Every structure is written in C-alpha cells, then in structure tokens.
Amino acid sequence: MRLFRQISSSLRAKLLAMFVILTCLPLIIVGLVSYSKSFNTVLQNSKASKLIVAQQLARDMDVLFEDTGKLLELEKNPHVLKFLFSQNSDTYEEAKDILRTMDSYRQTYQYENVLNITMINLYGRGISERKGVFQLNRNPLRNAHLAYLIQNPNAVLNIPSAASTMDPLDGSRYRNDVISIMATVKQQITHEVIGFMVIDLDDNIVKQFVDHVTIGESGFFFVVDEMGQQIFLPSHLHGQEIVPKSIDLLRELNQSDNELILTTGGGGKPKFMFAAASEQTGWSIVGSVPLQEIVHDANSIRQLIIISVVLSIGFAITLHFFITARLTRPLHVLKNKMQHAASGFFEAKVTPSGNDEIADLGKSFNTMLDKIRTLLQRSIEEQQQIKKAELRALQAQINPHFLYNTLESIIWMAEANKKDQVIQLVMSLSKLFRISLSKGRDWITIEKELEHLQSYLTIQQMRYRDILHYEISVEEQCRSFPILKMTLQPIVENAIYHGIKHKRGKGSIMIRGYMEKNQDIVWVVADNGVGMSESRLEQVRSAINESHPPEETGNEVSGGFGLHNVHQRIRLYYGDTYGVQVDSKPQEGTTITIRIPKKNEVRLNEKSNAR
C-alpha cells in the first residue's frame, strides 16, 4: 500500500511505472512464451537425438543378431542332422564336413564377431569349432537354458556373459566377453528336438557402446534384458545397481513411450530416462542423463532472454530519467516554489525556460504571486487601518462618568467659593482634553504623555483627596522619546477604579519609567489596591490578548478594557514582542509593566490615515 501511494502521488513514479510496464511487460510475456517454446523444442530435440542413438545401437544389435541367426540354418544340414541324431562315435568324416560347412558360412557372411559355433545332441555328444568332437560329462538337459528350449523348441535364447558366467553347456568354466545364442535343432519331418546349437558372439560391440557413448557430461547408456536385469554397464559403473528395481523402470518406460523423468529420493536431481528395444534380442538399451544437461541449451536461451529483459528494463529506466529530467524537473521546481508560496514566501518565483506549456505555467504562477502579494499587502494595510481606527475610537472615548463627576466637582467647588480649586480643576481638564486630541497625532513625546497623566491624576486627586496618593518617577533621558499617546492614562485609570477605589484607607499609585539596556523603555504602574485572585488574574491576562475587547459592565469599564486597548495598540505599532504584563496578589495590589522600544525615528507630526 505504501509503494502504491508513493507511485500514485508522484508523476515521475507514474511515468517510470508506465515505461516499465509498456516496455518490459511485452518483453517478459514474449520471453516467457519464447522460453517455453524453446524449452519444449530443445527438450524434445535432445530427447529425440538421444533416443536416436539408443535406437541406432538397437538396430545394430538387431542386424548383428539377424545376420548371426543365419548360422541357425546349419540345423538343416544333413551332416549336422545325422551327427546329432547318431550315437555312433565313428563320425570323423561327418565332423569334418560339419566344420567345413561352418567355415563356409564364415567365409560367405564374414562373421568376424562369431567366436565359436557348438552343436550338441540330447546325449551330450557335441562338436564345436574350438573343441572339435566332444562328449559332456553330464546330462545336457540339466542345463536350465537347454531345458527351457525343450519346453519351447521354437524359442531362441540370447544369453550374455553378465547373466550367466558359467558355460551354458558343461558349467565347468567361466565365460567372458561372449553372448551365447542358443536354439534347438529339430528333425525335419517330425520336428522332434534332436539337439541344440550354441553360437558365441563377441560382446565388445555392446561394451564399447556403453563405455564410449555418453550423454552430455555425465549421462550414460546401459543394457537390460527382458526381466529388467542390468547386463551391460559402463566400465566405471560395473557391479553397481544403477537404477533400483529395473523391472519397474522398464515397465514404466514401456508405459510412457520409452521415456520418462525420474526423480530419485534423498533430494537427488531429476534424471531423464529413455529406452530403445531390440526386436531380435528382447533387450532394451536404456539411457540415463540428468535433466539439467538435457535442457542446457534451453537454459542458455533462458539466460539470454533474462539478460535481454534486464537490459530492456535498464534502457527503459535510462530513457525514463532522460525524458523526465526534461519533462518533470520544471514541474518539480514549480511544485517546490508553490510549496514555498503556500507557506507564505511570495518571493518564490519561477525562472521559466523554453516556450512550452510548462514555461507558460511558470509565467502564470509568477503573475499570480505578484497579484496575491499586492492583494495581501493591500489587505494587511486595510486591516491595520481598520484596527488603528478602532483603537483610536476606543482611545477617544472619555468615560462619561468621569466627565460628569468632574463637572459636578467644579460646580460644587464654585458654590463653595473655592476659586483656586475651580481654576486648577478647569485648567487640568482643559489640558487633559488638549493633549488627548493632539491635533489628530498618534505620537507625542513622553514629556507630553506625563503632562497628560499629571492632569488626569490632579483631577482624580481632587475628587479622592483623602484616599489617593501618587508618585511619578521617570528618567530624564526617556522624556524626549516618542510614545503612543494615552498609553499610561488608561493603566492608571484602571488602577484607580479597580484597585484603590475598593480599598479601605489611603491608596497609592507609583509610576516609574526607565530605559533598559539602551533599547527598551519600561513603565511600571504599581498600586496597593485590593489586587486580584489567581483565577481573576488569569482571566485578565487572557482577555488582553484577545482580538476583541471585553464587554463593559456596570457604570465603569471592566478591569480588562483599558489594559486590552493599550496592549493591542502597542503590539499593533511596535510588534508582538512588546505589550502589557499584569501581576497581582490579593489585598497587596497590582503591578502593570509596559515595555516599548526606544524609537528615535518616529515623526511626531505623523497623522492617522483614518482621520
């Protein structure tokens, strides 16, 4: 799933997948089909070629035994019949005639592989090329092969030395390197068996075949008889049981068109087994070769196909990177620039190259960034102007209760003929309004801000003469720097109405101003009023950071209204690192800390755009 998401989320990955699928999938399919066809073709051809070799040996054997079988015609020779039928030992001339006949056959048919020809009657009297006339010491019918021929007079036995190492006639000596062809000799009229003929053939023609003819690197041939007994083996395997239960193997071969794939136990490699039958002997020439060697050529084709597919994939990937480097790289650059723009960096412009659609897209993106930046700047400026206008409106608001109470105090003092107090109160109120207006300026000097604060405190002290005491301490080096007007008065007003007014006894307000690290100007307004609880303090701190001021309650402004106004104005003009900090303890008082930067470059005649 993760790989699928990566491919589906990347144009380059999609192109790579498309290239690999469109280029390599047909090659893989063609390769698999070609390999399957070539494997089957090579396997069948290899099987056929190996089977042809075995069939050729079988035909050679059939020709050999068929030619040799012509010697069995000697049973029709009158001298032979007379010799075998007679029990008389005075047959010297007949024996010579028989031997001359045998030699005549040899000369006629060139029997180079015939080692000996022997004839014997039922009484053990015989004649052979090597022995001449002889008499057996035992009854020949005790021989199993001869006894079988008596029961089956029309049969012809082919007995290799591997199957019977004893002479099939007298059983007195070992016989090596011969194949004995045994048949009956019958009386011409009655077809009664009167003797036997034995022809000894040199078996080197078979031994040389199994010794020198190999299949691949390790395959070989061997010969089994009708019962599946192994009668001719390669010399290096002589005496070994090549395939257990050869009779079962022979049966399986006969049932599967003389070829099968045999897997031996114990994790052995599969072998290809095949057989060719000899019609004259009834033997079978069996070939055994590891299947891997049979399909060696097919494996070479498979490797060639695999290499071709791999090279094609490599070529497709190389072509992919070559094309995508020219196609998707501009898109990738455009994507990165868009991500930068989405994060707020509107200077992330694209440098278009070329005249294609991607270059046009990059130019359109640059144009869009310019318009967005312009609109955003305009929106920011409009919002700032709106915010400043709102804050000016809040700043310009004079608490009607303050004005009403001040006027009431003036009337009361006038009625009491307190001329001097009336004059002082009116002058302080006049100066308070004059500095509050400041001809529409937002900025005044700290000196003027302190004068404005002094006028406000004079009015409040005359009203609360018995409970209000204040002290102002400001460093001289700070007085000439500019400040937003009405920064301190709302803080002091908040201290009077929410700190001192509710305190029993005389209240005190301390205003201090000093420069910190020659960078910031810090104001501290501390009162010894009723203070605030922890929960109330958290509410006030949270309220002054909200975008909208807290609601008014009762006849006076809620404790956070003036603080909110000052805090938001400072952050709007100076930045988020500056503002108001509130600390308070119940029944001990509240301390307001105001931090503003030292700004020499602010022009005091700056007018508000809103006004």
Quote the pLDDT of residue 591.
92
Average pLDDT over residues 8-13: 62
Distance CA 189, CA 200 (A): 28
Q: What percent of the chain has pLDDT over 70?
A: 79
pLDDT at 396 over 60: no
Residue of higher predicted confidence among 366 and 437: 366
Distance CA 582, CA 592 (A): 5
pLDDT at 146 over 80: yes
With bands split at pLDDT 50, 70 and 90, how would you rate the model's confidence at 609?
very low
Q: Reduce the DSSP state of residue 19 to 3 states and report it.
A: helix
Pinpoint the alpha helices (H) of 343-437.
357-396, 400-415, 419-437
- The model's pLDDT over 38-67, given as tens digits with 9 standing for 90+, comes to 777 877 787 788 888 888 888 888 888 888
Question: Per the structure block, which two tokens stand in for 243?
Answer: 């395939």
Quote the pLDDT of residue 176.
60
Max intra-chain CA distance, the chain: 198
Distance CA 54, CA 58 (A): 6
- The model's pLDDT over 308-331, given as tens digits with 9 standing for 90+, comes to 878 877 887 787 777 776 666 777
Beta strands across the sheet bearing 125-128? 132-135, 125-128, 114-121, 193-202, 178-186, 156-160
Tokens 């021929």 correspond to 149
Look at residues 270, 298, 293 and name the one whose alpha carbon lies nearest to residue 218: 293
Distance CA 549, CA 568 (A): 9
Distance CA 592, CA 499 (A): 12
Look at residues 589, 447, 601, 595 and name the one whose alpha carbon lies nearest to residue 514: 595
Tokens 């707020």 correspond to 344
Quote the pLDDT of residue 268.
63
Rg of the chain over all Cα atoms, to the nearest angstrom = 63
Q: What is the DSSP letter of 269?
A: P
Quote the pLDDT of residue 606.
44
- The model's pLDDT over 176-220, given as tens digits with 9 standing for 90+, comes to 678 888 999 998 888 889 999 998 888 887 888 888 888 877 888
Distance CA 295, CA 273 (A): 14
With bands split at pLDDT 50, 70 and 90, how would you rate the model's confidence at 360?
confident
139 within 8 A of 124, measured Cβ to Cβ: yes
CA angle 402, 406, 408 (to 5 degrees): 120
Question: Alpha carbon of 232 to those of 163, 258, 293: distances in Å?
Answer: 9, 19, 23
Question: Per the structure block, which two tokens stand in for 398?
Answer: 């004079």
Average pLDDT over residues 253-279: 68
205 within 8 A of 113, measured Cβ to Cβ: yes
Q: Reduce the DSSP state of residue 107 to 3 states and report it.
A: helix
Average pLDDT over residues 287-310: 78
Which residues are registered as beta bridge partners of 202? Answer: 178
Average pLDDT over residues 280-304: 80
Residues 6+ apart with CB under 8 A from 366: 349, 350, 352
Distance CA 151, CA 315 (A): 78
Angle between helices 400-415 and 419-437 (to 10 degrees): 160
Distance CA 264, CA 273 (A): 12
Exposed (0-12), middle (13-18) or buried (19+): which is 273, by Cβ within 10 Å? buried
Question: Per the structure block, which two tokens stand in for 128?
Answer: 């052979």
272 within 8 A of 261, measured Cβ to Cβ: yes
Q: Is residue 587 left, alpha or beta, with left meaning phi > 0 and alpha meaning psi from -120 to 50?
A: left
Q: What is the mean pLDDT of the chain?
A: 77
CA angle 272, 297, 270 (to 5 degrees): 25
| pTM reported for the whole predicted model | 0.48
388 within 8 A of 608, measured Cβ to Cβ: yes
Look at residues 398, 382, 379, 387 and name the one whose alpha carbon lies nearest to residue 549: 387
Domains of the chain: 77-202 (3.30.450.20), 397-597 (3.30.565.10)
Q: Is residue 380 left, alpha or beta, with left meaning phi > 0 and alpha meaning psi from -120 to 50?
A: alpha
Distance CA 213, CA 206 (A): 10
Question: Per the structure block, which two tokens stand in for 456?
Answer: 């406000």
Q: What percent of the chain has pLDDT over 90?
A: 5
Quote the pLDDT of residue 196.
92
Question: Per the structure block, which two tokens stand in for 588?
Answer: 């001990």
Angle between helices 11-68 and 296-342 (to 10 degrees): 180
Distance CA 321, CA 255 (A): 58
Chain centre to alpha carbon of residue 421:
92
